[in-house]
Structure 1
Amino acid sequence: MAMLEVKNLCKEFNGRPILKGISFTLKDGEIMTIVGPSGAGKTTLLRIIAGLETQNSGEILIDNKKYDRGKVGVVFQDFNLFPNLSVLQNVTLAPRLVLKESDTEADQNAKDWLEKLQMHGHENQYPFQLSGGQKQRVAIARALAMKPKILCYDEPTSALDPNLRQEVEKMILNLKKTGLTQLIITHDLTFAKNVADQVLKIKPLNEG
């Protein structure tokens, strides 16, 4: 059974078409990369799948059911960590507030993900004390702490030094081993091919 189905998705801004007729199927545990130049609508597509934008037409199904926002996690390009919260507080905030986890449960789950993402020992640091790669790992741990079925990334290699790309590839492929379904927006074709089961190419509509 398909995990994620996108059917004939269309999106306009102020009457200008951004996405037209986008359709694909992403199965359980697979990785899809979505590639294309700036202005092609990649991030808009991700935001629609993540429930942050609404489409004009078309539908999104998860497990053959209408879209459920709680099943999709997002790692943003600029990470969006709370600067006034420690690493551990960043990861545990939403599980406590939204999933109603106890402090003990939220802390343990957060520490488990931070350890898997090689961030053990950084729990009490603040975002300004972290490198770009470390911030990204905290953002991934925060998304995974919400127990999503699908994890979406917006340009996961763009804010990192080129020599860290392989580290990101390894991390994403290790998460795949846990059965996590992943959807990745990227302009990096080499990275896209290295991690993906499927590559979806989209281009600006004014290019035909």
Structure 2
Amino acid sequence: MLELKNITKKFGSRLILNKLNLTIPDRQILAIVGPSGAGKTTLLRCLSGLEKIDSGKFLWNGQEFNPAEPDSKNHIIGVVFQSYELFPNLTVIDNITLAPTLVLKETASQAEKQARKLLKQLDLNGKENLYPYQLSGGQQQRVAIVRALAMQPHILCYDEPTSALDPALRTKVGEIILKLKTDNQMTQIIVTHDMEFAHQVADQIFTVKALDDKKVM
């Protein structure tokens, strides 16, 4: 179970997150929704360690941890960014295996075996030796998901996973997220403007509002 307790984040004098409290049970999908500028992406960046909080704490199964200082032996949060952030000069398989070999200290064969298993799970067989520019947008997104999963996180976060996708791909993304919940027992957090999508896939919706009015629906 992931717990956020009294999370506060400021940018200069501007208060973005004010003593935010949130609990995410294991194997559930949480959607974080709200208007632009209310702090959705900031919350995701704090969760992933890309931004440091000003006060508060994160707990995983009752134990405090700092996302900004991840433990390579206990990788808690993984992120699929809106722009995917794939390395354009690396093949699909190299994009996926780079971090597990460098951070988790897996052998090349271990990392490749796991990568191929995940690629198969997300219907990407035969794409291992292609470069990102040779893939469709939906395929690039699935590679980004595989790359995040390869780090064996307990929780997988997505930043606007349906933005700029056509209806068919939007449906596919929803199917993938639900499949990861069922097959991988994966806890997932989705930042999205897409309320319809949020209601389709989420067990819980957390509405971030401007100012201090923040609530769980």
Q: Indicate the TM-score class for this superposition, using the shorter chain for normalisation.
A: over 0.9
Distance in 2 (CA, whole Å) between partners of 1:207 and 1:6 is: 17
Partner of 1:109: 114
Partner of 2:211: 205
Partner of 1:186: 192
Distance in 2 (CA, whole Å) between partners of 1:126 and 1:160 is: 21
For residues 34-87 of structure 1, the C-alpha deviation after alignment (integer angstroms, 9 at most, x for no partner) is 000110110000011111111111111111111253211000000000000000
Moved more, 198-207 or 165-174: 198-207
Work out whether residues 160 and 191 of structure 2, in 8 Å CA contact, stay in contact via their aligned partners in 1. yes
SS of the residue corresponding to residue 5 of structure 1 reads strand
Work out whether residues 33 and 184 of structure 1, in 8 Å CA contact, stay in contact via their aligned partners in 2. yes
Partner of 2:80: 75
Count of residues in Structure 1 that have an aligned counterpart in Structure 2: 206
Work out whether residues 93 and 115 of structure 2, in 8 Å CA contact, stay in contact via their aligned partners in 1. yes
Partner of 1:43: 41
Partner of 2:56: 58
Partner of 1:27: 25
Distance in 2 (CA, whole Å) between partners of 1:103 and 1:9 is: 38
Work out whether residues 132 and 159 of structure 1, in 8 Å CA contact, stay in contact via their aligned partners in 2. no
Work out whether residues 33 and 199 of structure 1, in 8 Å CA contact, stay in contact via their aligned partners in 2. yes
Per the TM alignment, residue 10 of structure 1 is displaced from its structure 2 partner at its CA by: 1.0
- Aligned-residue Cα RMSD (Å) equals 1.3
Q: Identity of paired residues, percent?
A: 55
Instruction: Look up the equivalent residue of 1:197 and give its one-letter code.
Output: D
Partner of 2:158: 153
Distance in 2 (CA, whole Å) between partners of 1:161 and 1:129 is: 19
Distance in 2 (CA, whole Å) between partners of 1:35 and 1:75 is: 17
Q: Note if 1:134 corresponds to 2:119.
A: no
For residues 150-200 of structure 1, the C-alpha deviation after alignment (integer angstroms, 9 at most, x for no partner) is 001000000322331111110000000121110110000010011111000
The TM-score normalised by the length of structure 2 is 0.92
Q: Which runs of 5+ in 1 are unaligned?
A: none
Q: Note if 1:95 corresponds to 2:100.
A: yes
Q: Which runs of 5+ in 2 are unaligned?
A: none
Distance in 1 (CA, whole Å) between partners of 2:201 and 2:53 is: 28
Distance in 1 (CA, whole Å) between partners of 2:155 and 2:208 is: 21
Q: Which runs of 4+ in 1 moved over 4 A?
A: none
Distance in 1 (CA, whole Å) between partners of 2:130 and 2:165 is: 20
The TM-score normalised by the length of structure 1 is 0.96
